[in-house]
Structure 1
Amino acid sequence: MRLKRNALIPVFLLCFGFAQAQDKKPVQLSDLTKIVTVGDPEITPDGQVIFVKSYMEAGKDGAYDYKSQVVRVSLADPSQTQVLNSPSYDLSGFALSPDGKSLAFTKSWEGKPQIWILPLNGGEAQVLTSEKDGASSPVWSPDGKKILFSFSVPLTAMEGTPPWENPRPGRIYGDEPNYAAAKEGKGEESTKADMDGSLDELRAWLAKNASKNNPRVIDRLNFLGENGLSTNISYRHLGVIDVATKKSSKLTSGYQSFGSASWSPDGSFVLASSVKSEEHPDLSFELDSEIFKINVADQAVSVFLTQEGYRFSEATFSPDGKMLLVSGQDTEDRSFNQSLIGVAKPDGSGLKWFTEKLDRRLGGTKWTDDSKAIYFTGANQGGVTLYRAEASSGKISEVITGPVGVNSFDVHGSQLVYALTKVADPSELYVADLAGKGEKQLTNYNTAWLAERWVSQPEAGQFEQDGFQVDYWVMPPFGLKEGTEYPTLLEMHGGPTAMWGPGESSMWHEFQVLAGRGYGIVYANPRGSGGYGKHFQRGNYRDWGDGPAKDVLTALDKAVEKYEWIDEDQLVLTGGSYAGYLTAWIVGHDHRFKAALAQRGVYDLTFFMGEGNAWRLVPNYFGYPWEEGVKEILEYNSPQTYVANIQTPLMIFHGDVDLRTGVRQSELLYKSLKILGKPVEYIRYPDEGHELSRSGNINRRMDRIGRIVEFFERYVTHPN
């Protein structure tokens, strides 16, 4: 046996872990369907909490579907639990009425999203809106008599002519024959459609085909969605509906979108973020946004809060109406600058940011009832921390932090309710005081089945490299025995600005299944990861390969040095999205791994400019290929450049309709390796996009993990 320094597994812990492993089974692949998640808690005035329970349920054919239910539980006695609705798959946008007696939410109705009202004193939910363009994102007025909502309007249904030049060369807006009739959904044709007729008649025939998306006429830059083309431009607008009369009215219109809307204390106006520009909407990403004021009575719209060099995302009044909470971002370096939260006077003046030194991406802001503090969350060093800021001074403190993740929360009175991820349990609801003290668990959805499971506990490590402090974690395999070595998997996260850690929930099941199959697991947050501030996140600028690869491989080297049970001759590697890229990069430069699996990655960066809807990563990190020197940088940083150097057996995953990274990327890598006679296998998932591992078809999600296990088992040997 080779010698290693600083072995961290004492004999008694090894024996204890082995004894524990004999008493419990490890987490199984099929346990994915047992995991229940909770979220969106809302504390009611009468001391209860409403939240969403999400789970998976098998149908008559044995296939699993996603389901959600709204649940109410007493804070004083968590055993008093009531399910408030029948299982559904498309509930979203929950909002509790000011008196706590009704819940508004979004659910489809006759093919469109609409707002529903659920009375909490009993009775079935009733649909409230019947908007032609649908309705979502309900926000109750302060008096509970009205609900603000959002709706989407396609460009073809907009009134007037867009303020920008038609991007189709030689055409003007509205010049298509029969345009007016098609715009209003009518069938009348003012011009005969005839392919053999005059130019106008030919254009009418072509327009008729295009109106049926056969073919799709593309004239915009951002034409790729997640799973299909997104050729049509639409705008998000605001409406308001009277709950009693169901009479609704439009508050906004025109060629700009409005989001993150909130009410004024007296309900006379609404604040919302928007970009007002005479440029094509494809360019809105490059523009600063402002906070607009919209009067409810006369629908007058005016700029309320603006500042050059900033994007404003949200503004909400304090409960006492004396302050304004503002969220935004400094756009000088918009690809890397972190979130900002601050307060202003009720008229928007005197804005002071107080999170600049915190240097994190933040969200989920909520006022306390007394208007003295603001709570918010942020990814932070492998967890999701809940912060508190004093409204008067801007002083920030950590309420819940460490190797846990606060996924959603609510504050009311003296109580704090939050959905929490822990290594021991992926999702449960808890209550504590406003300082995070006196924590009490409210739900136990995962407790029973987890009581019969062994769970691998990660141990943290850290090292300094090239001026960066890099965090990593090591998870022991099931049945760990002293003096025995185990195959070990290096897992890597995507993004590249994602962040992993014990408080991050997306990998909980996969990590535990693989540890349960006898693999040690090492994962790290290399330079470029989120959760460590702007400097760290910018650490992979024009360096997607060398630097991040050096960090994750150093983490593996450190783990091998520390833990005697890691078999350095039986290492395997995987990662998805950006980490699919990094997997291919590493095996093109390093040959220590017995096998590797690249998932939904990008492998040729110049090609990526035209292949995925995440194409802006190329100019944001490297520049445009036609700029001086950029093509050479892209070629150097592309794993495809080194495809002939790959010796490691490689499996490649991609979804058939993944348009975030683009399926042609994996086809290129696979075909190249096949031509070169390298050991490679290619798995394509039908009807799946980029989110397969998180929200895809449940049976395919299990198939994916099963194939990971089966592939690695071909190349490693486990101890007897």
Structure 2
Amino acid sequence: MTFKKNLLLSAFVLCCSLALAQDKKPVQLSDLTKIVTVDNPEITPDGKVIFVKSFIEAGKDGEFDYKSQVIRLSLSDPSQSQVLNSPSYDLSDFALSPDGKSLAFTKAWEGKPQIWILPLTGGEAQVLTSEKNGATSPVWSPDGSKILFSFSTPLWAMEGNPTWENPRPGRSYGDEPNYAAIKEGLAKEETKPNMDGNVDELRAWLAKNASKDNPRVIDRLNFLGERGLSTDISFRHLGMVEVATKKSSVLTSGYQSFGSGTWSPDGSYILVSSVKSEDHPDLSWESDSDIYKINVLDKSVSVFLTQKNYRFSDATFSPDGKLILISGQNTEDRSFNQSLIGVVKPDGSGLKWFTEKLDRRVGGAKWADDSKSVFFAGPNQGGVTLYKSEVGSGKTTEVISGPVGVNSFDVHGNQLVYSLTKVANPSELYISDLAGKGEKMVTQYNSVWLAERWVSEPEAHHFEQDGFGVDYWVMEPYGRKDGIEYPTLLEMHGGPTAMWGPGESSMWHEFQVLAGKGYGIVYANPRGSGGYGKDFQRGNYRDWGDGPAKDVLTALDKAAAEYEWIDEDQLVLTGGSYAGYLTAWIVGHDHRFKAALTQRGVYDLTFFMGEGNAWRLVPNYFGYPWEEGVKEILEYNSPQTYVQNIQTPLMIFHGDVDLRTGVRQSELLYKSLKIMGKPVEYVRYPDEGHELSRSGNIVRRMDRIGRIVEFFERYVTHPE
């Protein structure tokens, strides 16, 4: 009798819980403006944590603005928190002083970025530097008396001429007046410009026009930025400023960039990473990077760590000063080799890698206080895992793993502090011990409004195909009832080396909105995705279409076979960037979808090599079009080749100034379909680059998801 009562009570509680869940509203399109993200935590010496809180704030006339605050919060009492910056400046590029009493940060001053100091004990921020080329990326010396900073110098402002050959055919460096330098008072005009004069005077006249970008003269290979032309070459250099006197000095110079500086424990020298190439800087991506040593006293620069076929960066001394943490990559197959974390001795000897067998792209490595272990994070099978490597044995273990994402973290004493993504909450700050145990949520920024929202939980699945193990997830629609079928969306990721999963934050809002609109969602990590090792990531080499399409469609087929609520006559499809490519490829080969939406994609691969700033994907995956057999491979793998086979109603998104994939790609696809009378609609977003969905204008970000919903609603039927 008691057992029956308990059973009835359990059933009643379950029914009430389900009813309560369905009483909640699904995530709304407008909820994008409610999402808060936390990042960049740093534990202070007094047991507090400083981190960046990013959010969206409503402005006038229905517009919204991105905002960020730096928060100081007590770990022992999270209710005790303090906002460190006013709305007038951004503190996100901050560095905590060794004694924990001051923050150095970057803020514009008289038209240039400069280093400022904010006392945490009270008082206003004061500008520290006044560098003619600006100053960014502050790094405190161990005793807090100096700050290392970075600055950028354009090629035209450099003294002397570089040693590499002038890429302008038939020209040499210094054979015409440098009007950019003349304008800044760095050079004198010795040849008067005269369009009707001799060749030197004509060149002077042409150079003066070019100095005003009228016209833009392009002599470099990588002349495309993200949203406009990038015709000027500049070099990153390092300087140092004394905090007490504000006296600064330049540490590096020349036709070489330096970055990722770290001080030695005694402050006598600095280790930095740099790529030195005898060729034009456009070719530096083919070169290996080394660690250099800069002596603070005499400013001498020497190579500290170099090895053929390796790139080194991010040197960091252990707390006891006995070892140096190093990040790196084997560059023999630079397109697919995974990243490495290791250590060397202070004299540069004894290099030891921890992560060769891990076979993941990891980063952000930090020392534990006892110098016996290091922590780092990276994409791993649908989540972002926090790892720990023992320095002595090299043993690597997972500290925080599973369907969650560790976005950033810090370690101090016996505490980990980290920003975490979960399906139930896209971003909050957590603490735990060094083993990841005793996890506790520290912030509640999203918890309050999410308490009134229904959230679709993805269910994980796996299958083997063609020697690859493919993970996929299924999310059910809002209000799902047994015995009823629902339209279902196949979502695909870009990259092609991106990775999706419950621990990946960028798609959280879009997935939840679409599930809330009554769509089931299936998404997968096909061959070529990151987070599964080199062999899997290389699985789409010279095969961007057939293999990955087979994987995502198999995931959809298997989901439909297992979940009776998936309506196989009500399927829709979308993806962006590489997944925009894959969307167009699929609808050129498969006609099961009621509608499809391709976003900021690539559709003709040969054309892409000439148009997009991500053009290196073409030679990395296929080779150059003029090499034997490559033209045919590119043509076979281009969705444009099959445009005449597209029957599915198609919507195309692209940003007006998207130079990563190139806006002409979308024009080619649209015009082709329009000429053939196919059902197609084209949406161009003004002033937007490739990052529209992640960091674009906020209203346009919501418009984008709204148009996805509206377009699919034209073609699918929802149950009554």
- Aligned match of 1:689: 689
After TM superposition, list the pairs within 5 Å mapping 1:499-578 onto structure 2: 499-578=499-578
1:586 is displaced (CA, Å) by 0.1
- Aligned match of 1:647: 647
Which string of whole-angstrom CA distances, capped at 9 and with x for unpartnered residues, describes residues 84-120 of structure 1? Answer: 1113575432211110111112222233222221211
Distance (whole Å) between structure 1 residues aligned to residue 353 and residue 112 of structure 2: 39
Distance (whole Å) between structure 1 residues aligned to residue 194 and residue 126 of structure 2: 48
SS at match of 1:609: helix
1:325 is displaced (CA, Å) by 0.8
Checking the alignment, whether the CA contact within 8 Å between 2:365 and 2:375 is kept in structure 1 is yes
- Aligned match of 2:718: 718
1:134 is displaced (CA, Å) by 1.3
Alpha carbons of structure 1 residues 471 and 534: separation in structure 2 relative to 1, 3 Å: same
1:14 is displaced (CA, Å) by 11
1:410 is displaced (CA, Å) by 0.5
Checking the alignment, whether the CA contact within 8 Å between 1:154 and 1:232 is kept in structure 2 is yes
Checking the alignment, whether the CA contact within 8 Å between 1:360 and 1:532 is kept in structure 2 is yes
SS at match of 1:597: strand
Checking the alignment, whether the CA contact within 8 Å between 1:66 and 1:89 is kept in structure 2 is no
Which string of whole-angstrom CA distances, capped at 9 and with x for unpartnered residues, describes residues 393-428 of structure 1? Answer: 111111100000000000111111000000000000
Task: Give the counterpart letter for 1:664 in structure 2.
Answer: R
Checking the alignment, whether the CA contact within 8 Å between 2:151 and 2:236 is kept in structure 1 is yes
After TM superposition, list the pairs within 5 Å mapping 1:157-196 onto structure 2: 157-177=157-177, 182=182, 184-185=184-185, 189-196=189-196
Alpha carbons of structure 1 residues 555 and 185: separation in structure 2 relative to 1, 3 Å: farther
After TM superposition, list the pairs within 5 Å mapping 1:136-155 onto structure 2: 136-155=136-155
Alpha carbons of structure 1 residues 76 and 448: separation in structure 2 relative to 1, 3 Å: same
- Aligned match of 2:484: 484
1:190 is displaced (CA, Å) by 2.5
Checking the alignment, whether the CA contact within 8 Å between 1:499 and 1:531 is kept in structure 2 is yes
1:178 is displaced (CA, Å) by 5.3
Distance (whole Å) between structure 2 residues aligned to residue 25 and residue 597 of structure 1: 26
Distance (whole Å) between structure 1 residues aligned to residue 90 and residue 119 of structure 2: 19
Deviates more, 1:359-368 or 1:106-115: 106-115
Alpha carbons of structure 1 residues 484 and 204: separation in structure 2 relative to 1, 3 Å: same
Which string of whole-angstrom CA distances, capped at 9 and with x for unpartnered residues, describes residues 150-179 of structure 1? Answer: 111100011111010111111111111355
Distance (whole Å) between structure 2 residues aligned to residue 651 and residue 121 of structure 1: 55
Distance (whole Å) between structure 2 residues aligned to residue 143 and residue 624 of structure 1: 52
After TM superposition, list the pairs within 5 Å mapping 1:148-547 onto structure 2: 148-177=148-177, 182=182, 184-185=184-185, 189-547=189-547
SS at match of 2:694: helix
Checking the alignment, whether the CA contact within 8 Å between 1:457 and 1:475 is kept in structure 2 is yes
- Aligned match of 2:665: 665
Distance (whole Å) between structure 2 residues aligned to residue 89 and residue 34 of structure 1: 22
Alpha carbons of structure 1 residues 379 and 400: separation in structure 2 relative to 1, 3 Å: same
Distance (whole Å) between structure 1 residues aligned to residue 134 and residue 426 of structure 2: 34
- Aligned match of 2:708: 708
- Aligned match of 2:620: 620
SS at match of 2:273: strand
Alpha carbons of structure 1 residues 320 and 187: separation in structure 2 relative to 1, 3 Å: closer
Which string of whole-angstrom CA distances, capped at 9 and with x for unpartnered residues, describes residues 247-277 of structure 1? Answer: 1111100111111111111111111111112
Checking the alignment, whether the CA contact within 8 Å between 2:459 and 2:474 is kept in structure 1 is yes
Checking the alignment, whether the CA contact within 8 Å between 1:644 and 1:673 is kept in structure 2 is yes
1:613 is displaced (CA, Å) by 0.3
Checking the alignment, whether the CA contact within 8 Å between 1:17 and 1:479 is kept in structure 2 is no
SS at match of 2:116: strand
1:183 is displaced (CA, Å) by 7.0
Distance (whole Å) between structure 2 residues aligned to residue 494 and residue 88 of structure 1: 36
Checking the alignment, whether the CA contact within 8 Å between 2:157 and 2:181 is kept in structure 1 is no
Distance (whole Å) between structure 2 residues aligned to residue 107 and residue 568 of structure 1: 54
Distance (whole Å) between structure 1 residues aligned to residue 352 and residue 144 of structure 2: 31
Task: Give the counterpart letter for 1:34 in structure 2.
Answer: K
1:60 is displaced (CA, Å) by 2.4
Which string of whole-angstrom CA distances, capped at 9 and with x for unpartnered residues, describes residues 318-374 of structure 1? Answer: 111101111100011000000011111111101011100000001011011111110
Task: Give the counterpart letter for 2:55 in structure 1.
Answer: Y
Give the unaligned 5+ runs of structure 2. Answer: 1-10
Does residue 112 in structure 1 map to residue 120 in structure 2? no
Deviates more, 1:239-248 or 1:584-593: 239-248
Which string of whole-angstrom CA distances, capped at 9 and with x for unpartnered residues, describes residues 116-170 of structure 1? Answer: 2121112222222221111111111111111111111100011111010111111
Alpha carbons of structure 1 residues 14 and 642: separation in structure 2 relative to 1, 3 Å: farther
Distance (whole Å) between structure 2 residues aligned to residue 384 and residue 171 of structure 1: 50
Higher relative contact order (CA 8 A, sep 6+): 1
Alpha carbons of structure 1 residues 608 and 15: separation in structure 2 relative to 1, 3 Å: farther
After TM superposition, list the pairs within 5 Å mapping 1:561-600 onto structure 2: 561-600=561-600
SS at match of 2:62: coil
Distance (whole Å) between structure 2 residues aligned to residue 104 and residue 626 of structure 1: 51
- Aligned match of 1:19: 19
Checking the alignment, whether the CA contact within 8 Å between 1:94 and 1:106 is kept in structure 2 is yes
Distance (whole Å) between structure 2 residues aligned to residue 580 and residue 62 of structure 1: 30
Checking the alignment, whether the CA contact within 8 Å between 1:157 and 1:183 is kept in structure 2 is no
Distance (whole Å) between structure 2 residues aligned to residue 368 and residue 194 of structure 1: 66
Distance (whole Å) between structure 2 residues aligned to residue 587 and residue 12 of structure 1: 47
Task: Give the counterpart letter for 2:393 in structure 1.
Answer: S
1:604 is displaced (CA, Å) by 0.1
Checking the alignment, whether the CA contact within 8 Å between 1:18 and 1:479 is kept in structure 2 is no
Alpha carbons of structure 1 residues 389 and 292: separation in structure 2 relative to 1, 3 Å: same
SS at match of 1:31: helix
Distance (whole Å) between structure 2 residues aligned to residue 49 and residue 167 of structure 1: 50
Checking the alignment, whether the CA contact within 8 Å between 1:268 and 1:296 is kept in structure 2 is yes
Checking the alignment, whether the CA contact within 8 Å between 1:20 and 1:454 is kept in structure 2 is no
Does residue 134 in structure 1 map to residue 134 in structure 2? yes
Alpha carbons of structure 1 residues 230 and 323: separation in structure 2 relative to 1, 3 Å: same
Which string of whole-angstrom CA distances, capped at 9 and with x for unpartnered residues, describes residues 41-60 of structure 1? Answer: 01011110011110011112
Q: RMSD in angstroms over aligned alpha carbons?
A: 1.5
Checking the alignment, whether the CA contact within 8 Å between 2:600 and 2:661 is kept in structure 1 is yes
Deviates more, 1:659-668 or 1:274-283: 274-283
- Aligned match of 1:680: 680
SS at match of 1:207: helix
Distance (whole Å) between structure 2 residues aligned to residue 357 and residue 301 of structure 1: 34
Distance (whole Å) between structure 2 residues aligned to residue 207 and residue 172 of structure 1: 14
SS at match of 1:551: helix
Alpha carbons of structure 1 residues 13 and 559: separation in structure 2 relative to 1, 3 Å: farther
Deviates more, 1:60-69 or 1:657-666: 60-69
Checking the alignment, whether the CA contact within 8 Å between 2:179 and 2:211 is kept in structure 1 is no
Percent pairwise identity: 84
- Aligned match of 1:63: 63
Task: Give the counterpart letter for 2:367 in structure 1.
Answer: W
Checking the alignment, whether the CA contact within 8 Å between 1:69 and 1:88 is kept in structure 2 is no
Distance (whole Å) between structure 1 residues aligned to residue 335 and residue 469 of structure 2: 21
Deviates more, 1:320-329 or 1:117-126: 117-126
Does residue 72 in structure 1 map to residue 72 in structure 2? yes
Checking the alignment, whether the CA contact within 8 Å between 1:487 and 1:567 is kept in structure 2 is yes
Checking the alignment, whether the CA contact within 8 Å between 2:69 and 2:90 is kept in structure 1 is no
Task: Give the counterpart letter for 1:601 in structure 2.
Answer: G
SS at match of 1:249: strand
Q: TM-score, normalised by structure 2?
A: 0.97
1:472 is displaced (CA, Å) by 0.3
Deviates more, 1:400-409 or 1:113-122: 113-122
Task: Give the counterpart letter for 2:639 in structure 1.
Answer: P
Which string of whole-angstrom CA distances, capped at 9 and with x for unpartnered residues, describes residues 650-699 of structure 1? Answer: 00000000000000000000000000110000000000000000000001
Task: Give the counterpart letter for 2:399 in structure 1.
Answer: V
Q: TM-score, normalised by structure 1?
A: 0.97
- Aligned match of 1:7: none
